[in-house]
Chains A and B, each alone.
Chain A
Amino acid sequence: MNSISTMITTTTSTTKAATMSESKISARNVQVFYGEKHALRDVNIEIRPRSVTAFIGPSGCGKSTFLRCLNRMNDTIASCRVEGSIGIDGENIYDPKVDPVQLRAKVGMVFQKPNPFPKSIYENVAYGPRIHGLARKKSDLDDIVASALQKAGLWNEVKDRLQESGTGLSGGQQQRLCIARAVAVSPEIILMDEPCSALDPIATAKVEELIHELRSNYTIVIVTHSMQQAARVSQRTAMFHLGLLVEENDTDKMFTNPDDQRTQDYIMGRFG
């Protein structure tokens, strides 16, 4: 609880979330079906603002599915059905009134495999601000691109070659470009789906460092297969198993003294 209170005191811009409730995202009785398959059962979780929450669990446990519910990316899968409610800042994002397109501007996403568009580095970052009309003038757009690249720690590496193709960067740079692309839309939440699984240890370290810095401005939810990564970057950890949210706890407690036997077994490497 101590960490939360310090976080709230450091809050400067988005006071709205803090005043409405302690949690940025609150999921109630979330069920997900892929056709006949019941992929997630009755998930309830509160995710705190301006912190990193890690989802861990064995493959196929539903952690990525749940992550994709948070910005309604599952809408693009025809057979997928979501029940229950997920509130962001107190508003149910599965309410029919909510436009998933606007929701995704607020809840950015970084994917497992770096997926820069086959455009220039500049255009990759400018894409989001353009479609949302965030810049009126070319110079505004330039500023947004520069600041997003700076926040993603990529500026110094690419500032001289903004017009080169984004696909020509190294894997780690591509992933940071994707983070810059997400940041450029000024989201409040950033979802990361195993962002380092395709990267080497050095690139991974850079991305983790970046997550650390982004934490002060964004609510970050990260899915990871690496227990060490979860321990390094997150404050809270949620353990999924067979479509159930098994345990959700402070990361420190989770990795030292978990409440659930299954978490214990998974962390000790007994399954998964």
Chain B
Amino acid sequence: MSVGILIPVLLVLAALGFVLGKRQALALSDSQKTKLHSLPGYYGQTVALFTAVPALFLLGAWLILQPMAIESRIGGMIPDSVIPEGGARSLVMSDVRRIAGGLDAVLALGGMGEDELVRIGENLSTVRSRLAEVGVALVGDVPPVVFEAARAYRQDVKTGNMAMSVVVLVLAVALGLWAYRRIQPDMRARNVTESFVKSLLIAASMVAVLTTLGIVGSLVFETISFFKIYPASEFFFSTVWNPQFRGGSELGILPLLWGTLYVSLIALLVAVPIGLMIAIYLAEYASKTVRSLAKPAIEMLAGIPTIVYGLFALITVGPFLRDWLAQPLGLGTSSSSVLTAGLVMGIMIIPFVSSLSDDIINAVPQALRDGSYGLGATQSETIKQVVLPAALPGIVGAVLLAASRAIGETMIVVLGAGAAAKLDLNPFEAMTTVTVKIVSQLTGDTEFASPETLVAFALGLTLFVFTLGLNVLALYIVRKYREQYE
């Protein structure tokens, strides 16, 4: 039974459980002449929840764990001799998976049974062409071991799926029955449902927390192994970034950090004044119609993929700045520059500043504005001296959120600012940022244990700590602001 069928079956079982549970509760209450503790629907809900939820969880866990288990078992079947020179076991494994998938298609196409596979296996030279017929292209002939592995893989997947369906359904029915048997008129079904739902919600929030922990964990782990082979003091304090893939690299973070901060600073210099003015206009001056049109239009800026911004920087803004500013001023001849990336990134984060600030300015109580107008203040005096100071902590929070967005941006920098790691003040020079270097260190054919690769994790962790700090600061400021009016 496939997952596509299993889930509807579980849902039907749950619905059935709901109806039966409700009926049972009513029947018991009638026969025992007692009042139900909760509304009848809650008794049904307990049955439905116990039927569906644990079974669905098991299903999810199974779907994650089964491939891992099968993979490790089949992987063990493949001897080192079939692994090509310079290749990896994982490549062979992906072949196995593709062949297994191909065999399914071959069987389905020819309407053949399982025993047919044995025959195909005896004549391996035909396997490649038959697989090609169903759209699975292989590089060379299939070694017998790999074919056997593929067969075993299919077998395992089949049994695994079968076992999964059985176990999941049994669990659903068993827990459903248990919950059904538990129904008594004085059972606190409402409380049971409440706590069940509460634990579901907790589980959902745990997903986010655990993911964060997982990300941090993997970063920290790799960073530690980086610092084992590369001195931390060099990494944090060296001003040279010069990775050599033959070894002897200098991997100082300072030029990258400088590039990141410089680009982000320019981006903020663009985004904060413009964004803030947009927010003030939208919140204080714009009519309802203008606001309802302008706000989504501005927010659309945030929805443009960053690669598109990158292209804009590469082919429009960069050459324009070079031809009209950098060259006439004698400041540089490069079309990729910090200024290009900063300007384009600034445009990208305008909606972060404007939208959040607009909400915050709107949250300033009208009573404060009335108080100011009532004293004979003009609109701009009111905004400058009452509304903005009251909204300032929230606006700072918005700016910091925009800043952490800018610091994490990659695509615009690759295309707009270039890839040269430099410590320079000239905004028309090409520079690069931490994120860009993470990408370039991890792409390409490199072994995974060299400092040149592992440095990416140290860079990532530094960046993570940086933006995390900014976010914490932003949240702290925003929270402080909230306390003021409640």
Q: Which residues of A contact B (CB under 8 A)?
A: 71, 73, 76, 78, 101-106, 108-111, 113, 115-119, 127-128, 131-132, 167, 178, 181-182, 185
Residues of B within 8 A of A105 (CB): 375-376
Would A115 and B365 count as touching, CB distance under 8 A? yes
Would A117 and B374 count as touching, CB distance under 8 A? no
| Count of chain A to chain B residue pairs whose CB atoms are closer than 8 Å in the complex | 71
* B484 contacts chain A at the CB level, 8 A cutoff: yes
Residues of A within 8 A of B389 (CB): 117-119
Q: Using an 8 Å CB-CB cutoff, how does the interface string of B367-387 with A read, 1 for contact, 0 for none?
A: 111111111111001000110
Closest chain A CB from B335 CB (angstroms): 48
* B287 contacts chain A at the CB level, 8 A cutoff: yes
Would A111 and B374 count as touching, CB distance under 8 A? yes
Q: CA–CA, A117 to B375, complex, Å?
A: 12
Task: With a 10 A CB-CB cut-off, give which of A109, A117, A118 has the most chain B CB atoms.
Answer: A118
Name the one of B367, B374, B375 contacting A131, with C-beta atoms under 8 angstroms: B375
Identify which of residues 370-415 in chain B touch chain A, using a CB-to-CB cut-off of 8 Å.
370-378, 381, 385-386, 389-390
Would A104 and B374 count as touching, CB distance under 8 A? yes
Residues of A within 8 A of B367 (CB): 111, 113, 115
Known: A76-B369, A182-B375. 17 other contacts (CB 8 A): A73-B374, A76-B370, A103-B376, A106-B376, A108-B375, A111-B371, A115-B367, A115-B368, A115-B371, A117-B390, A118-B368, A118-B484, A127-B372, A127-B375, A178-B371, A181-B371, A182-B374
Q: CA–CA, A101 to B380, complex, Å?
A: 12
* 5 closest residue pairs by CB, A with B: A105-B376, A109-B374, A115-B367, A104-B376, A128-B375
Interface bin, chain B: 20 to 34
Closest chain B CB from A162 CB (angstroms): 18
Q: CA–CA, A117 to B389, complex, Å?
A: 9
Would B378 and A101 count as touching, CB distance under 8 A? yes
Q: CA–CA, A112 to B375, complex, Å?
A: 15
Sample (26) of A-B pairs whose CB atoms are under 8 Å apart: A71-B374, A76-B370, A76-B373, A78-B287, A101-B377, A103-B376, A105-B376, A106-B376, A109-B374, A109-B375, A111-B374, A115-B365, A115-B367, A117-B368, A117-B389, A118-B389, A118-B390, A127-B385, A128-B376, A131-B375, A131-B376, A131-B378, A131-B385, A181-B375, A182-B375, A185-B376
Task: With a 10 A CB-CB cut-off, give which of B370, B371, B389, B390 has the most chain A CB atoms.
Answer: B371
Task: With a 10 A CB-CB cut-off, give which of B369, B372, B386, B390 has the most chain A CB atoms.
Answer: B372
Q: Which residues of B contact A (CB under 8 A)?
A: 287, 365, 367-378, 381, 385-386, 389-390, 484
Would B376 and A117 count as touching, CB distance under 8 A? no
Residues of B within 8 A of A181 (CB): 371, 375
Closest chain B CB from A192 CB (angstroms): 11
Would B376 and A115 count as touching, CB distance under 8 A? no
Residues of B within 8 A of A103 (CB): 376
Residues of B within 8 A of A102 (CB): 376
Closest chain A CB from B392 CB (angstroms): 10
Task: With a 10 A CB-CB cut-off, give which of A116, A131, A132, A185 has the most chain B CB atoms.
Answer: A131
Residues of B within 8 A of A73 (CB): 370, 373-374
Residues of A within 8 A of B365 (CB): 115
Task: With a 10 A CB-CB cut-off, give which of B367, B375, B377, B386 has the most chain A CB atoms.
Answer: B375
Closest chain A CB from B240 CB (angstroms): 49
- Given A78-B287, A117-B390, A111:B370 Cβ within 8 A: yes
Residues of B within 8 A of A115 (CB): 365, 367-368, 370-371
Q: CA–CA, A135 to B180, complex, Å?
A: 80
Residues of B within 8 A of A71 (CB): 374
Q: CA–CA, A76 to B372, complex, Å?
A: 12
Q: CA–CA, A105 to B381, complex, Å?
A: 14
By beta carbon, the residue of chain A nearest B374 is A109
Q: CA–CA, A105 to B377, complex, Å?
A: 8
By beta carbon, the residue of chain A nearest B365 is A115
By beta carbon, the residue of chain A nearest B378 is A101
Q: CA–CA, A128 to B374, complex, Å?
A: 10
Residues of A within 8 A of B378 (CB): 101, 131
Residues of A within 8 A of B369 (CB): 76
Residues of A within 8 A of B373 (CB): 73, 76, 104
Q: CA–CA, A106 to B371, complex, Å?
A: 14
Residues of B within 8 A of A101 (CB): 376-378
Closest chain A CB from B82 CB (angstroms): 73
By beta carbon, the residue of chain B nearest A104 is B376
Task: With a 10 A CB-CB cut-off, give which of B287, B367, B390 has the most chain A CB atoms.
Answer: B367
Closest chain B CB from A271 CB (angstroms): 30
Residues of B within 8 A of A76 (CB): 369-370, 373
Q: CA–CA, A256 to B374, complex, Å?
A: 35
By beta carbon, the residue of chain B nearest A181 is B375
Residues of A within 8 A of B376 (CB): 101-106, 128, 131-132, 185
Closest chain B CB from A125 CB (angstroms): 10
